[in-house]
Amino acid sequence: MARHPAGELDDADFQVVEAPRPAPADGQVLIRHLYLSLDPFIRPMMDPVRSYVPHLNPGDLMPGFGVGQVVQSRNPALPEGTHVSGRFGWQEYIVADPAALRVIDPSLAPITTAVGILGMPGATAHYGLLELGKPKPGETVVVSAATGAVGSVVGQIAKLRGCRVIGIAGGPAKCDHAVQELGFDACLDYRAAGIEERFSALTPGYVDVLFENVGGPLMDMVLRRLNAHARVVLCGAISQYDGPTSGIGVPAFEFVRQRATMTGFIISEHMAHWPGAFEELARWIREGKIRYRESIADGLRNAPAAFKGLLTGKNFGKQLVRVARE
């Protein structure tokens, strides 16, 4: 990386550096890089902002997962010719310790899958959907970037779990693929007109699981149709990575970066909690450990004004109306 991008990526953000091929030390191997995986998360790493990993600085090697082949071995565990995968970065040759590598068996699947469905994106889909989304048969699952590395796997696993799957993708070709090849029940082309109406029509029973990859207005549209006790898995917000918001942070993506949780609840569904809470709160009041404050309007006739005041911040503490003198 030559410099931090200013908004959208530019060719001048990168530079090609030529250097001698590295030599493996005892116990290490030299790998020839065959396939580099390009993953969206690399883009936010280029911005100098707080994240779950240190951001890149000018002069750093562009990171990335890759698949390659051992061409020189100084470790008997990994003979020459072995296919391996790891965090290789954007470079042609890599020296690595075997502990940092995953051995790939080319007879099991094409080696490219080691950085796709049988690699980080596949694991992301499997963990995010099954462990966090917890889909149940018959539920409606919505996934954005539906034909991509992660989204395509999410939707197909959800189908295997007996869910109704609605994909969101850009353009008719991607949407046809989602339905005809991946077996989704429907796919919303967000590049065509009238998406809100079409999405409502596709989700008459609302949405039980949202697997979010894109963020922005499309995510808001799905959030407006969440079902009771829906699960929202915030996996990514790719629409916000490369552009004016890239450097200042995006609310939805901050949840991903900080592995944060947002939970909705309605206290009347948790009546068992009430008695213990009152006991503890009353004790804290008696002991002078917590305080409370009230605003009391006089007479029912003043209730509308006090209510309006509550909604505009005129109250100071708990708003009440004195209906009658004690």
**x-or-dash string of contact with ligand NDP, 140-159, rule CB under 6 A:** -----x-xxxxx--------
Q: Which of 160, 119, 165 is nearest to 142 (CA)?
A: 165
Q: Does 189 bind ligand NDP (CB under 6 A)?
A: no
Task: Give the single-character DSSP code of 60.
Answer: P
Task: Give the single-character DSSP code of 217.
Answer: H
Is the CB of 30 or the CB of 149 nearer to ligand NDP? 149
How many C-beta atoms surround the C-beta of residue 125 within 10 A? 28
Taking CB under 6 A as the criterion, the residue among 45, 96, 163, 238 binding ligand NDP is: 238
**x-or-dash string of contact with ligand NDP, 160-179, rule CB under 6 A:** ---------xx---x-----
In a 3-state reduction of DSSP, which class is residue 86? strand
Q: Which of 116, 111, 171 is nearest to 146 (CA)?
A: 171
Q: Does 297 bind ligand NDP (CB under 6 A)?
A: no
Rg (CA), the chain: 27
For the bound state, the minimum distance from the C-beta of residue 248 to ligand NDP, rounded and expressed in Å, comes to: 16
Q: Which stretch binds ligand NDP (CB under 6 A): 132-140, 155-163, 232-240, 262-270?
A: 232-240
In a 3-state reduction of DSSP, which class is residue 252? helix
Nearest-10 crossing angle of helices 151-160, 120-127: 40
Is the CB of 163 or the CB of 169 nearer to ligand NDP? 169
Q: Does 68 bind ligand NDP (CB under 6 A)?
A: no
Calpha distance 13→4 (Å, rounded): 7
Q: How many residues bind ligand NDP (CB under 6 A)?
A: 22
Q: Which residues bind ligand NDP (CB under 6 A)?
A: 39-41, 121, 124, 145, 147-151, 169-170, 174, 213-214, 235-239, 256
